[in-house]
Amino acid sequence: MTTIDAAKAWRDQDPDAETRAELDALIPRAEKGDAQALADLGDRFDSRLAFGTAGLRGELGAGPNRMNRVLVAQAAAGFADFLKGREDAPSIVIGYDGRINSDVFARDTAEIMAGAGVRAVLLPRALPTPVLAFAVRHLDVSAGVMVTASHNPPRDNGYKVYLGGADQGSQIVAPVDGEIHRAILAVADRTTVDALPRSTDYALADEAVVEEYVQRTAALVPRGSDAPARAVVPFVYTAMHGVGWEVAERVFAAAGLGEATVVPEQIAPDGAFPTVAFPNPEEPGAMDLSYATANRAGAQLIIANDPDADRLAVAVPDASAPEGWRRLSGNEVGALLGWRIAERLHRAGARAKLAASIVSSPALAAVADSYGLSYSDTLTGFKWVSRVGGLAYGYEEALGYLVDPEKVRDKDGISAAVEFLALVGELAAEGRTIADHQADFDERFGAFASAQVSLRVTDLSRIGAIMSALRAAPPTAIGGIEVTQVDDFIDGFGVFPAGDILRFWMHGGARVIVRPSGTEPKVKVYIDASLTSGTAAERRRAAEEQVAALEEGMRALVA
Which CATH number is 464's domain given? Answer: 3.30.310.50
On whether both 550 and 512 belong to a single domain, the answer is yes
On whether both 370 and 398 belong to a single domain, the answer is yes
Whichever domain contains 396, its CATH number is 3.40.120.10
- Residue 457 pLDDT > 90: no
On whether both 93 and 157 belong to a single domain, the answer is yes
On whether both 453 and 540 belong to a single domain, the answer is yes
**Is there a domain that residue 424 lies in?**
no
Q: What confidence score (pLDDT) does residue 497 get?
A: 85
On whether both 389 and 510 belong to a single domain, the answer is no
The pairing of strands 170-171 and 156-163 is antiparallel
pLDDT tens digits, one per residue of 493-515: 988 888 899 999 999 999 999 99
Separation of alpha carbons 474 and 503, rounded Å:
10
Which of 165-169, 242-246, 338-342 comes out lowest in average pLDDT? 165-169
Contacts of 319 (CB under 8 A, 6+ apart): none
Separation of alpha carbons 434 and 31, rounded Å:
63
**Is there a domain that residue 265 lies in?**
no
**Is there a domain that residue 151 lies in?**
yes
**Is there a domain that residue 174 lies in?**
yes
pLDDT tens digits, one per residue of 503-553: 999 999 999 999 998 777 899 999 999 999 999 999 999 999 999 999 999
On whether both 386 and 518 belong to a single domain, the answer is no
Mean pLDDT of 29-54: 91
Total structural domains in the chain?
4
Q: What confidence score (pLDDT) does residue 54 get?
A: 65
Q: What confidence score (pLDDT) does residue 53 get?
A: 59
Which parts of 372-412 fold into alpha helices (H)? 382-385
**Is there a domain that residue 497 lies in?**
yes
Mean pLDDT of 484-489: 96
The sign of the dihedral angle between the CA atoms of 251, 253, 257, 260 is positive
The percent of residues in the chain predicted with pLDDT above 90, rounded, is: 92
pLDDT tens digits, one per residue of 246-274: 999 999 999 999 999 999 999 999 999 99
Separation of alpha carbons 240 and 263, rounded Å:
9
On whether both 100 and 156 belong to a single domain, the answer is yes
**Is there a domain that residue 545 lies in?**
yes
pLDDT tens digits, one per residue of 174-204: 899 999 999 999 999 999 999 999 999 999 9
Q: Which residues pair with 524 in a beta bridge?
A: 454, 515
Q: What confidence score (pLDDT) does residue 381 get?
A: 87
Q: What confidence score (pLDDT) does residue 225 get?
A: 77
Which of 140-149, 164-173, 453-462, 472-481 comes out lowest in average pLDDT? 453-462
Separation of alpha carbons 159 and 145, rounded Å:
7
Question: Of the candidates 411, 434, 467, which is a domain's last residue?
Answer: 411
Residues annotated as part of the active site: 150
Q: What confidence score (pLDDT) does residue 111 get?
A: 98
pLDDT tens digits, one per residue of 127-143: 999 999 999 999 999 99
**Which value, to the nearest 10 degrees, does the dihedral of the CA atoms of residues 130, 135, 141, 143 take?**
-20
Q: What confidence score (pLDDT) does residue 48 get?
A: 95
Q: What confidence score (pLDDT) does residue 37 get?
A: 97
User: What is the pLDDT confidence band of residue 322, given thresholds at 50, 70 and 90?
Assistant: confident
Separation of alpha carbons 539 and 549, rounded Å:
16
On whether both 60 and 185 belong to a single domain, the answer is yes
DSSP class of residue 348 equals H
On whether both 145 and 187 belong to a single domain, the answer is yes
Does residue 175 have a cis bond before it (omega within 30 degrees)? yes
On whether both 62 and 199 belong to a single domain, the answer is yes
Mean pLDDT of 485-498: 91
User: What is the pLDDT confidence band of residue 465, given thresholds at 50, 70 and 90?
Assistant: very high
Domain housing 512: 446-558
Q: Give how far Cα 61 sits from Cα of 12, 64, 450, Å.
A: 15, 9, 37
Separation of alpha carbons 81 and 64, rounded Å:
19
The pTM for the full model equals 0.95
Range 81-87, long-range pairs (CB < 8 A, 24+ positions): 81/116, 81/183, 81/186, 81/187, 82/179, 82/180, 82/183, 83/118, 83/142, 83/143, 84/116, 84/117, 84/118, 85/183, 86/142, 87/142
User: What is the pLDDT confidence band of residue 50, given thresholds at 50, 70 and 90?
Assistant: confident
Question: Of the candidates 211, 226, 246, which is a domain's last residue?
Answer: 211
Which of 222-231, 329-338, 416-425 comes out lowest in average pLDDT? 222-231
On whether both 85 and 162 belong to a single domain, the answer is yes
pLDDT tens digits, one per residue of 291-310: 999 999 999 999 999 999 99
On whether both 54 and 195 belong to a single domain, the answer is yes
**Is there a domain that residue 237 lies in?**
no
User: What is the pLDDT confidence band of residue 316, given thresholds at 50, 70 and 90?
Assistant: very high
Mean pLDDT of 357-371: 97
Q: What confidence score (pLDDT) does residue 494 get?
A: 87
Q: What confidence score (pLDDT) does residue 212 get?
A: 98
**Is there a domain that residue 38 lies in?**
yes
Mean pLDDT of 210-230: 93
Average pLDDT of the residues of the chain: 95
209, 218, 252: which is closest to 404 by C-alpha? Answer: 218
